[in-house]
């Protein structure tokens, strides 16, 4: 087994919108007084990886838009969505990268691993081969991701209990072999544990960050507020989905 698996990775309308009640002058003043939304304190990148059809896009879309589609549309290359969350008194702008599960896109998707502070590795509890592929994905993580990235293993489609072929214990056992990795089962369809996994991952990332460091000291780091998204320069623009 890769020696890295044995190394502990974890150190542990403002006024109701009815301006018709206001005189024109007051209306203008009221608009002028609107305070812009507080800017985010941090920007974090999270990447979702795993074999084809396990539900990576579905998890991302459930989390960011609270939507779910039964249609099976393979991701081509990568896609991303943004979600802002507040945790530990900080406002965090999450860039969530959804990668294609098909192997032929690995050379594209691997470029997105490096900047990720959190990695969600997904398998489908109803598809043996997606579980058997996990070591292959771990190799990709070892090769391309930062050693500090927080890892989360997710067994998705837990709503399909009658079709289950991978037990929760099998998932837990795989996870226990990788230091610092967390495990959870989810259902993007039933919206089960979806918010929880992303929030836990972000919380784990924040727990390791010096949250009181002024923003200017973070400039140049991945956490600083740079224009987004930070697409690796050599890559084509984020994907289009095909049927």
The torsion angles phi and psi of 5, rounded to 5 degrees, stand at -65, -20
Q: How many CA atoms lie within 13 A of 56 on its CB side?
A: 32
Decide if residue 195 touches ligand GTP (CB under 6 A).
no
Site for ligand GTP in 172-191 (CB under 6 A): 187-189
State the Cα angle at 142 between 205 and 122, rounded to 5°: 65
Q: Which is nearer to ligand GTP, 92 or 193 (CB)?
A: 193
Least distance CB 69 / ligand GTP (angstroms):
6
* Interactions with ligand GTP, residue window 41-70 (CB under 6 A): 52-58, 69-70
Report the nearest approach of ligand GTP to the CB of residue 52 (Å): 4
Q: Which residues pair with 123 in a beta bridge?
A: 155
Question: Does 100 contact ligand GTP by CB under 6 A?
Answer: yes
Q: How far is the CB of 76 from ligand GTP (least distance, A)?
A: 8
- The residue from 30, 74, 106, 110 that contacts ligand GTP (CB under 6 A) is 74
Backbone angles phi, psi at 237, to 5 degrees: -60, 155
130 lies in the binding site for ligand GTP (CB under 6 A) = no
- Coil, helix or strand for 53? coil
Helices (H), 7-133: 24-33, 56-65, 106-109, 128-132
10, 119, 174, 178 from 183: Cα distances, Å: 14, 12, 9, 11
Q: For ligand GTP, which is the closer residue by CB, 45 or 193?
A: 193
192 DSSP assignment: B
Q: What DSSP designation does 239 have?
A: P
Residues 217-236 that bind ligand GTP (CB under 6 A): none
Shortest CB 116 distance to ligand GTP, Å: 17
75 binds ligand GTP per the rule CB under 6 A: yes
Site for ligand GTP, rule CB under 6 A: 52-58, 69-75, 100-101, 156-157, 159-160, 187-189
């Amino acid at each position: 087994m890769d020696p890295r698996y044995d190394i502990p990775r974890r150190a542990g309308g403002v006024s109701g919108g009815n301006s018709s009640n206001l005189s024109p002058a007051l209306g203008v003043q009221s608009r002028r007084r609107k305070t812009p939304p507080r800017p985010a304190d941090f920007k974090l990148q999270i990447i979702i990886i795993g074999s084809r059809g396990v539900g990576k896009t579905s998890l991302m879309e459930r989390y960011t838009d609270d939507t779910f589609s039964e249609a099976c549309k393979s991701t081509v290359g990568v896609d991303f969505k943004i979600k802002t969350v507040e945790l530990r008194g900080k406002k965090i702008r999450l860039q969530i990268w959804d990668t294609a599960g098909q192997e032929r896109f690995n050379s594209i998707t691997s470029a997105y691993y490096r900047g990720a502070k959190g990695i969600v590795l997904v398998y489908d509890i109803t598809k043996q081969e997606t579980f058997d592929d996990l070591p292959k994905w771990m190799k990709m993580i070892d090769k391309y991701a930062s050693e500090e990235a927080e890892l989360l293993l997710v067994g998705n489609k837990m709503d399909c209990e009658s079709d289950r072929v991978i037990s929760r214990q099998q998932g837990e056992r795989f996870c226990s072999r990788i230091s610092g990795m967390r495990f959870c089962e989810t259902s993007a369809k039933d919206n089960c544990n979806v918010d929880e996994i992303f929030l836990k991952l972000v919380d784990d990332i924040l727990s390791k960050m010096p949250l009181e460091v002024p923003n200017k000291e973070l400039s140049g780091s991945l956490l600083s507020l740079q224009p987004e998204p930070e697409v690796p320069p050599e890559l084509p623009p984020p994907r289009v989905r095909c049927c």
